[in-house]
Structure 1
Amino acid sequence: MTAQFNLTRILNCPPETAWRWVTDPELMRRWSTARVDLADPGPGEKPDTAGALRVVTLPDGKRKLREVVEYAEPPHEFRYRVYDGGPLLLDHRGVQTFAPLPGRRTELRWEVSMRLALPGAAHLLSRIIRGQVGESLDQLAGLVEQVPLDESAPATPQVGSMTPPDMAALFEDADESLATQRSIADHLAGTDDPKQWFARVYQYVTEEMIAAARNPATLGLAHPDWVLSLIPTFHDYYEFNLTAYRTGGAVEDAWAKAWSTAESTDPEHPHVPVMKGLLYGVSAHIDADLPRALAETHRARYADRDLREFRPDYLRLAPVFTAASDRLLADLPRSHKPWWTGLASKINPQLRDAMLAKNGYDVGRHRVKSFAAAVELVRQESACA
């Protein structure tokens, strides 16, 4: 169940100034009861553009929320979402709007909604957070009157123009990659090859990505064309290395480790090499292939844009991996699954994912790092151009 609240304050400054006070972490730390730090800026190296990352340390000093700025239209509307708040937090997002009033004043409206895995907990937490946010806004209202800021409008980074995408062609290319992945997974399964499990989950991820692009409102995708563009690029790295491994060619280290581990044997625990090989395959895809695939796609199709513009969509794709994991777990023999996966899934799929991350590979955290690595690759390429 979703809990939400709305708070409104009248600030004695124009919207341009209010925007800076409310969206710049450095200024926010002067009035917010929760500490806000900029983890990574968005386009224009700014903290208030879509794609910027923030870390919010709650007033107890122990728990942290990791946020992404999803939309920014200065000085009118600012939206953010928590993409990592622990396994019990299913959703947490905020919308801040700035309306000009006579006398160079601003009406600030702050809407917050959240969902938790525990029934009733969202409403209790909502009341607590409402009180903290209300206290913070009271401090802000007093601060803007005491500390003047430059009231010039914030500079908005230039966004490159983009030719309308040929969605039919993008879907055709993605579907072609998917057909090859299905064929590979079916062949490996037919020969009882232990590499089948990564091949199958990779197929599932691609299916879920295509489904998300067909219905972008489901995950709130702003750039479904970008999502589709990534699929063939990822696929090429995967297919090249698998073919090279099967034919005795040169294989990149991360993939060689994944495939050779899956094929190794452990007579006492025969499932262990298979599962380790699966996790090493996931690592090869995310740690080795993902940064360069993101950079390559950006260079080929979106070179006039800032890659960080696409980070909100990238993080919105997280449910794709949960859905693919669900499907793979349903396929795996019982001997290959940790005993607690079924119970954890019934309680909360995010709890299961958190336990898998703790005991194997943290997909969410590694995906965040891989995107940052891709941004750096693009930056280096631009510097050398």
Structure 2
Amino acid sequence: MSASFTLRRVLDCPPEVAWRLVTDPDQMNRWSTARIDLAEPGPGDRPDTAGALRVVTLPDGKRKLREVVEFAQMPREFRYRVYDGGPLLISHRGVQTFTPVDGNRTELTWHVSMRLVAAPLATVLCRVIRKQVGDSLDLLAGLAAGASFDDPLPTTSPVGTSSTAPTFDGLLADAHESLAAQRALADELAADDDPKQWFARVYQYVTEEMIAAAQDPSALGLEHPDWVLALIPTFHDYYERNLTAYRTGGDVEPAWATAWSTAESSDPKRPHLPVMKGLLYGVSAHIDADLPRALVEVQQEHFPGHDLREFRPDYLRLAPVFTAASDRLLADLPRSHKPWWTPVASKIHPQFRDSMLGRVGYDVGRHRVKTFAKAVAALQDSPAAA
């Protein structure tokens, strides 16, 4: 299911110049056969720092790949990953290294690996992209000779150094406390045969998967597992407060009121609809309403010396957490409570199923990206940032 290639070119310019030509979308569009647009800058408002987002429009002009910069060591190594490439693309990663040679020249090595839902598709796509990248690098080699820039690269990537977060063990204990409360709520609702149990259960599953990811950061490639753990109690507080208020007749925020009331509705002919709609409205309440303020709160309270955009790669790396939680919930749901096509789509690949759910209901991936940008904007507009 995977395919890869490695290409090399020797560029007639020093690594600092090669870096700019290869990592700045404005410069890339001088030689790339695919159009590159900066969607969101990374720390330092730069296009070449970890956390920046790019949109790649393939040469046919129809298909787009959305990339996140995952690692940047100027001017030595640059890594990026496609976080949204359509329902058939499972993974697509690129690593570019810049090695000084012959005094004032640079050997650029570009390694690309990808996985699709079917191995033949991966092989075909890899061949196509290899040719496109090769053609682009030939154009780059011609442009590099004599290239120069007036503004030098920063000596180091702009990253924060201070944190007021508790120790990892303390954060883990707090996360487990939130998980215990979520599990108790889901069990209580299930015992009462309350339809709100399904969202409560998937919320519990998401927390379990997040804790597991933080405890084994290599599984998803997490760089900041402490930040992942710090989020859990914060957004749990919003969730638990609104659920408790709804059950006791208190003040409930509109997004959560919609989720809970929809879950409690009925449709005898299509019993899965209220369940699915209630779940999607609950996910929307969590992502659109709770998550932006949770991101801001955790940043201000525990990581004030950092730029939130430093954590965007980890935020996007957590996407499999939601797929795993969906798998577990679908296994729990009665057959009458899930759309007929979900087992078929899951057999192709869980990512394909999630993409289908996004098309007919709520696109978790796209909304999570918007939510993070909303939190970044809120922090930039806050008095502390002025």
Same fold (TM over 0.5): yes
Per the alignment, do residues 141 and 292 of structure 1 end up closer, same or farther by CA in structure 2, a change over 3 Å counting? same
For the aligned residue pairs, the C-alpha RMSD in angstroms reads 1.4
Question: For 1:144-293, what aligned pairs fall within 5 Å after superposition?
Answer: 144-145=144-145, 147-150=147-150, 152-154=152-154, 156-163=156-163, 166-293=167-294
CA contact (8 A) 2:162 2:304 kept: no
Q: State the alpha-carbon separation in 2 of the partners of residues 97 and 213 from structure 1.
A: 28
The residue aligned with 2:21 is: 21
CA contact (8 A) 1:16 1:151 kept: no
CA contact (8 A) 1:17 1:151 kept: no
User: Any gaps of 5 or more consecutive residues in structure 1?
Assistant: none
CA contact (8 A) 2:13 2:146 kept: no
Give secondary structure in 1 for the equivalent of 2:108: strand
Give secondary structure in 2 for the equivalent of 1:120: helix
Count of residue pairs the alignment pairs up: 385
Q: State the alpha-carbon separation in 1 of the partners of residues 62 and 326 from structure 2.
A: 30
Q: State the alpha-carbon separation in 2 of the partners of residues 18 and 122 from structure 1.
A: 29
Deviations for 1:336-358, whole angstroms, at most 9, x for unmatched residues? 11111101111111111111111
Whichever residue aligns with residue 107 of structure 1, its letter is: E
Question: For 1:302-313, what aligned pairs fall within 5 Å after superposition?
Answer: 302-313=303-314
Q: State the alpha-carbon separation in 2 of the partners of residues 347 and 211 from structure 1.
A: 26
Q: State the alpha-carbon separation in 2 of the partners of residues 302 and 49 from structure 1.
A: 18
Per the alignment, do residues 384 and 145 of structure 1 end up closer, same or farther by CA in structure 2, a change over 3 Å counting? closer
Whichever residue aligns with residue 175 of structure 2, its letter is: A
Q: Which stretch of the first structure deviates more once superposed, 274-283 or 217-226?
A: 274-283
Whichever residue aligns with residue 337 of structure 1, its letter is: K
Q: Equivalent pairs: percent with the same residue?
A: 71
Whichever residue aligns with residue 51 of structure 1, its letter is: G
The residue aligned with 2:58 is: 58
The residue aligned with 1:342 is: 343
Q: CA deviation at 1:218?
A: 0.2
CA contact (8 A) 1:255 1:284 kept: yes
Q: State the alpha-carbon separation in 1 of the partners of residues 247 and 225 from structure 2.
A: 34
The residue aligned with 2:111 is: 111
Deviations for 1:313-363, whole angstroms, at most 9, x for unmatched residues? 000000000000000001111111111110111111111111111111110
Per the alignment, do residues 34 and 307 of structure 1 end up closer, same or farther by CA in structure 2, a change over 3 Å counting? same
Q: CA deviation at 1:220?
A: 0.2
Q: Which stretch of the first structure deviates more once superposed, 115-124 or 84-93?
A: 115-124
1:44 aligns with 2:44: yes
User: Any gaps of 5 or more consecutive residues in structure 2?
Assistant: none
CA contact (8 A) 2:207 2:232 kept: yes
Q: State the alpha-carbon separation in 2 of the partners of residues 155 and 318 from structure 1.
A: 32
- TM-score by structure 2 length? 0.97
Whichever residue aligns with residue 20 of structure 2, its letter is: R
Q: State the alpha-carbon separation in 2 of the partners of residues 59 and 228 from structure 1.
A: 41
Q: CA deviation at 1:203?
A: 0.2
Give secondary structure in 1 for the equivalent of 2:227: helix
Per the alignment, do residues 360 and 63 of structure 1 end up closer, same or farther by CA in structure 2, a change over 3 Å counting? same
Give secondary structure in 1 for the equivalent of 2:138: helix
